[in-house]
Each structure stands twice: as C-alpha cells, then as structure tokens.
Amino acid sequence: MRIALISDPMKMDYPESIQKIYEETRNSVANSIAAAIKNLDFEFEHLEATNNLDDKVKKFKPNLVFNRSNLENHKKGISFTPFLLDKLEIPYTGPDAKNCVIAFNKCLTKKILESLDIRTSKFVLIDDPTNIKIPDNMSYPLFIKPIMGGCSLGIEDQNLVFSRELCEANSKYLIEYIQQPVLVEEFLGGREFTVGIFGNDRPEALPILEFINHSEEAYQFRSFNSKMVAGKQEKISCPALLSKKEESEIVNLALKTYEAIGCRDYARIDIRNNDEGIPFVLEVNAFPSLIPGGSSFADMAETVGLSFTDLIKEILTIACKRNDIDIDNEIIKQIDINPDSRYINSNKHLLPL
C-alpha cells in the first residue's frame, strides 16, 4: 500500500522572532508522521502542496493520503489539497475541502458554533486596523488573537486587554504584525482543557488533558512563548481531575463541536471554563500537532496505551474504514475493529458518548 503525506510549504513571511521555532515544529510533525508510516512498512512519500502537486500525486499514485495541507483557495473558499484529491478520487485523512477551511478559521468556526447554540465566548472580527469597533455588550477583559494559525501564533501577554483603548491599539498592532484579521473575544478565566477525538459515525474522545498553570498571575493563558519556547516545562494532567459530571459535559461539548465543524477521522478540541466553571469551546484543531512526547494529542493517546506508531496506525485505519478500503496487511491484523463496538479498538479507556 502506498501512503503519501502532504504538507503545506513552509511560509516564509512570519516575523523573524517566530520563524525558526515554527519551522522546527512543522518539520518535527512531518518527520514524526513519516517515521511512523515507514514503521508500518508502507511505501511512503512526503509531498508538498506546491503548484505541481497534481503531477506529483499522479506519479506516486497513493492509495491513501495523510493530509496535513490546508492551503486555501481564497477565491473559492476551499482548501486546495482536499479539492485536488477529491477530483483525483484519492482518499485522504481529515476534513473535506470546505470544512478544512472552516476548521482553520477561528471566526468561521465560532460563527457555526454560535448558530448551533454550542457554547463559545462572545466575539467580534476586526479586519480593518483603521476602523476598530468593539460592541458595547462585550465584557472586559477581552482577548485578541489571529483568526488563523496554530501553536498560539501571535499570542503574547499584550493580547489580554482591560480597556477599549488598549483593545483598539493592540488589535491594530497585531493585524499589522501578523498580516491577517484578528478575533476579539471575551476572556474565559477558568481551567483549560483539550480533548482528542477519533472516529466518524460514532466519534469518541480520548481522556481529557488539562493544562496546568502554576503562575500566581490573576489571568493566565497559553502564549506562543509558553507553548513553543518554554513548552517543555508546561505542566499537564491527563486524565484531568474532574467529576463524572464535569467530564461528561466537556466530552459532549467537544463531540458536538467535532461534528458541527465537519471534522473527520481525528481532531482536537480546545475548551476553557469561565469563572463559574462552565466549559466553552476555544477553537478546533482539525490537524492537531502530532509529535511523540511533544504534543497533547500524542500525550492523550499514550494515556490509553497507544504508542505514536499505533496512533498514526489508528488514524489511517479510521480513514480507510470511512473510505471502504480493505487493507489486507498488518494494519488490519493488528487492530481489532468491531463496527458494533462503541469503542475504537475496543479500548475501554476511550470515553463513550
């Protein structure tokens, strides 16, 4: 079986202070996935979503693509790589061309959640640095972040603001610094969690992971620096210490979000409580970072006994099942898929609906 990993080319227009770190993380994810697929003894090739991707895909003729590309065709509002793969009738992991764009745009995600009464904090989109208007019904403190980008890109201490003047000034600065619109939303002051999800028809959640911040600051949040620079010192708890009721509420919120945004095969949903302990959706990660020992999705999988290679195997198997691909090799022999089971791989540690 031939499997291709498709990634977007490295953007070279990030500010110099974050370019190197972002590139290292991107390469670590690609190398980790590549190593795992090779460990499964599949024929493998890593392709970049450049202008000649069509030719490269046709030459390699993959049976399945592990897609990590969400390069957007702005005129059509779709993601280029899934659109191409659908056209070529080549199955792939992750969301389709339309939902790929939705999942990676924090504003589009929040609009859909809001329309479906799925809890997410009040927000406003700011796309013009010369015309910044904050609705009167939004309560301070407010939080500013780019509408696209992972790894807390563009998020630093000054993104938390306590006045209209600071909100306007910092929004203008961030738009010009990151070169994209920003989302301004009400800040959620409670505990922060992330939920890894597998599956399609009956998606299921991995154990909830909590990010623990031991700082004495009154308002705490994960920034680019705390996540990407000092990330090795970041404390986590998995499974998070929660009551059954709290756990159920967070899992159900994550599952509703996963399905509302059109995620497929796997994804990670970030959730944060307000000051009263009520969970709200922060954002959706349709292509969560996948690094053994260095990403929250891998940490959650490890909690239920999945090595990194097993994690990649799981994602491939779920995508194959969705596409009715019968893989007559070790990836099926080693994994017991019971279509009637409520647990992927009959793993009792996964959380049911």
Query: Smallest Cα–Cα separation from 343: which of 310, 322, 318, 316?
Result: 318
The pLDDT score that the predictor gives to residue 298 is 96
Q: Is 217 part of any domain?
A: yes
The pLDDT score that the predictor gives to residue 24 is 81
Q: Is 263 part of any domain?
A: yes
329 falls in which pLDDT band (50, 70, 90)?
A: low
In this structure, the answer to whether residues 99 and 25 fall within a common structural domain is yes
Q: Is 51 part of any domain?
A: yes
What CA–CA distances, in Å, run from 171 to 135, 174, 309, 315, 346? 14, 5, 41, 38, 48
Reply yes or no on whether the pLDDT at 348 is more than 80. no
The pLDDT score that the predictor gives to residue 212 is 86
For residue 55, give its domain range.
Answer: 2-103
Structure tokens given for 262: 């059109």
Reply yes or no on whether the pLDDT at 178 is more than 70. yes
Reply yes or no on whether the pLDDT at 2 is more than 70. yes
Give the whole-angstrom CA distance, residue 145 versus residue 283: 11
Element (H, E) at 4: strand 2-7
Structure tokens given for 7: 């990634």
In this structure, the answer to whether residues 199 and 301 fall within a common structural domain is yes
Give the whole-angstrom CA distance, residue 227 versus residue 225: 6
The pLDDT score that the predictor gives to residue 61 is 95
250 falls in which pLDDT band (50, 70, 90)?
A: very high
Burial of 119 (0-12, 13-18, 19+ CB in 10 A): middle
Q: Is 110 part of any domain?
A: no
Which of 161, 186, 211 marks a domain boundary? 186
Contacts of 172 (CB under 8 A, 6+ apart): 129, 132
What is the number of other CB atoms lying within 10 angstroms of the CB of residue 329? 11
The pLDDT score that the predictor gives to residue 350 is 53
In this structure, the answer to whether residues 196 and 173 fall within a common structural domain is no
Give the whole-angstrom CA distance, residue 164 versus residue 169: 9
Most confident by average pLDDT, 137-151, 211-225, 238-252: 238-252
The pLDDT score that the predictor gives to residue 225 is 54
The pLDDT score that the predictor gives to residue 222 is 56
In the structure, how many helices (H) and strands (E) does the chain have? 11, 15
In this structure, the answer to whether residues 197 and 308 fall within a common structural domain is yes
Q: What is the value of pTM for the model shown?
A: 0.86
In this structure, the answer to whether residues 205 and 342 fall within a common structural domain is yes
Structure tokens given for 44: 């493998």
Please give the average per-residue pLDDT across 315-336, as a whole number: 72
Among the residue ranges 96-110, 126-140, 226-240, 282-296, the one predicted with the least confidence is 226-240
The pLDDT score that the predictor gives to residue 72 is 83
Number of domains in the chain: 3
Give the whole-angstrom CA distance, residue 301 versus residue 52: 35
Strand ranges of the sheet holding 64-68, from the earlier edge strand across to the other edge: 43-48, 2-7, 64-68
List own/partner pairs for 236-239 with CB under 8 A and 24 or more apart.
236/209, 236/210, 236/211, 236/212, 236/296, 236/299, 237/209, 237/210, 237/212, 238/207, 238/208, 238/209, 238/210, 238/299, 238/300, 238/303, 239/207, 239/208, 239/209, 239/303
Please give the average per-residue pLDDT across 164-176, as a whole number: 90
Structure tokens given for 302: 């490890």
Question: What are the pLDDT digits (tens) for 61-120?
Answer: 999 999 999 988 777 778 999 999 999 999 999 999 999 999 999 999 999 999 999 999
Reply yes or no on whether the pLDDT at 280 is more than 50. yes
Give the whole-angstrom CA distance, residue 328 versus residue 292: 27
Residue 191's SS3 state is coil
332 falls in which pLDDT band (50, 70, 90)?
A: very low
Question: What are the pLDDT digits (tens) for 3-36?
Answer: 999 998 876 566 666 667 777 888 899 999 999 9
Q: Is 76 part of any domain?
A: yes
Which of 132, 164, 186 marks a domain boundary? 186
In this structure, the answer to whether residues 34 and 89 fall within a common structural domain is yes
Q: Is 244 part of any domain?
A: yes
The DSSP annotation for 92-119 comes to: BSS--HHHHHHHH-HHHHHHHHHHTT--
Question: What are the pLDDT digits (tens) for 118-151?
Answer: 999 999 999 988 888 899 899 999 999 988 865 5
| Average confidence score pLDDT of the chain | 85
In this structure, the answer to whether residues 258 and 274 fall within a common structural domain is yes
Q: Is 17 part of any domain?
A: yes
